[in-house]
Amino acid sequence: MVLKTLDVLGPLHGYGIARRIEQISGDRLALNQGTLYPLLLRLEQEGSIASEWGASENNRRARFYEITRAGRRQLQAELDGWQQTSEIMARFVAAKAGEIA
């Protein structure tokens, strides 16, 4: 979700990423700093995102994150995996007794 958010919206600070994920989920997901920042650190260490310091909308110092080329490759691999998983699940949900798909 973080990589997709950065791919669509471009560079964002952690709070902006969390709010966008909450917005897209219809407020079904709530992210706090204890959840998001370790993930951002891991993604940065893996090379999927890069960061730099800047000023937020309310002029506070904030770290802005941006997806990298490696991150785009990772995102595509994850999207492919989710597509395959959702297709398999759809077959199970649609299956009826005695039916072979």
Q: Does residue 41 lie within any of the structural domains?
A: yes
Bridge partners, 67 (sequence order): 49
Q: Does residue 86 lie within any of the structural domains?
A: yes
Q: Does residue 99 lie within any of the structural domains?
A: no
Q: Does residue 38 lie within any of the structural domains?
A: yes
20 token code pair: 């966008």
Number of domains in the chain: 1
When pLDDT is cut at 50, 70 and 90, the band that residue 99 belongs to is: confident
Q: Does residue 9 lie within any of the structural domains?
A: yes
Q: Does residue 18 lie within any of the structural domains?
A: yes
Query: What is the CATH classification number for the domain harbouring 80?
Result: 1.10.10.10
CB 72 within 8 A of CB 100: no
CB 1 within 8 A of CB 79: no
Percent of the chain having pLDDT more than 70?
Answer: 98
Q: Does residue 10 lie within any of the structural domains?
A: yes
Q: Does residue 101 lie within any of the structural domains?
A: no
When pLDDT is cut at 50, 70 and 90, the band that residue 101 belongs to is: low
Contacts of 18 (CB under 8 A, 6+ apart): 31, 32, 36
Q: Which residue has the higher pLDDT, 93 or 100?
A: 93
Q: What is the pLDDT of residues 20-33, one digit of tens each?
A: 999 999 999 988 87
When pLDDT is cut at 50, 70 and 90, the band that residue 37 belongs to is: very high
When pLDDT is cut at 50, 70 and 90, the band that residue 17 belongs to is: very high
40 token code pair: 């951002």
**H helical segments located in 10-68:** 14-24, 33-46
Q: How far apart are the first and last CA of the chain?
A: 31
Enter the pTM of the model: 0.84
Domain range spanning residue 77?
Answer: 2-94
